[in-house]
Amino acid sequence: MEQWPPADDAALGAELRAALGDAGEVPEEHLRAARAAFAWRTVGAQPTVAELVFDSACEPGAVATRSAGSTRNLSFRGGPIVVEIEIGGTGIVGQLSPVDGGRVSARTANGTYEETSVDAVGLFSLGLPPPGPVQLHARSGGFSVVTDWVCLR
């Protein structure tokens, strides 16, 4: 067994190169986790959580299995911002109020899957969400909110 730590910097460098040379590929799930952790670098500037205040799927008489042509409506409120969305067969349409421009992004546990701007009357449109929980992040007029995680499909 050789002396540890090595007696000089050159020997230590050689030892480290040998150890790192066999590292192999980083698994994709580790890369996704690292990217998600990196997104938390601005945790001090967290947005307000917009809580679910209405879900048409919870209304009396709502059908548990929706037909392809039916829609689901949800409303979220966080501070002064209200986010209302309708999920249909082609995606999400929504409105952000009060109207002051802004952007809306949708993300899953694997990260953002789509982002769009809000038009002059607060409307936005996003593609069909992937299966599993989704969270919307809305920024408008100096305010920033994130919705509760919800399964939209």
Range with the poorest average pLDDT among 43-57, 108-122, 129-143: 43-57
Decide which of 148 and 40 is more confident.
148
**Domain spanning 47-151 has what CATH number?**
2.60.40
**Dihedral of the CA atoms 93, 126, 143, 77 (nearest 10)?**
40
> Can you give the pLDDT at residue 143?
82
Q: In whole angstroms, what is the distance from residue 110 CA to residue 87 CA?
A: 21
pLDDT band at residue 69 using 50, 70 and 90 as cut-offs: low
Please write the tens of the pLDDT for every residue from 98-127: 888 889 999 998 889 999 999 999 999 999
Range 41-54 average pLDDT: 76
* Whether residue 67 has pLDDT greater than 70: no
- According to DSSP, the β-strands at 48-55 and 143-147 are parallel
* Whether residue 70 has pLDDT greater than 60: yes
| 78 Rama sector, left if φ>0, alpha if ψ -120 to 50, beta otherwise | beta
DSSP output for 59-78: STT--SS--TT--EEEEEEE
pLDDT band at residue 40 using 50, 70 and 90 as cut-offs: low
Exposed, middle or buried: residue 47 (CB in 10 Å: 0-12, 13-18, 19+)? middle
> Can you give the pLDDT at residue 146?
93
The pTM for the full model equals 0.65
What does the domain layout of the chain look like in residue ranges?
A: 9-41, 47-151
Range 128-146 average pLDDT: 89
DSSP output for 7-66: SSHHHHHHHHHHHHHT--PPPHHHHHHHHHHHHGGGGGGPPEEEEEEEEGGGSTT--SS-
Q: In whole angstroms, what is the distance from residue 73 CA to residue 28 CA?
A: 35
Please write the tens of the pLDDT for every residue from 11-25: 888 888 887 776 778
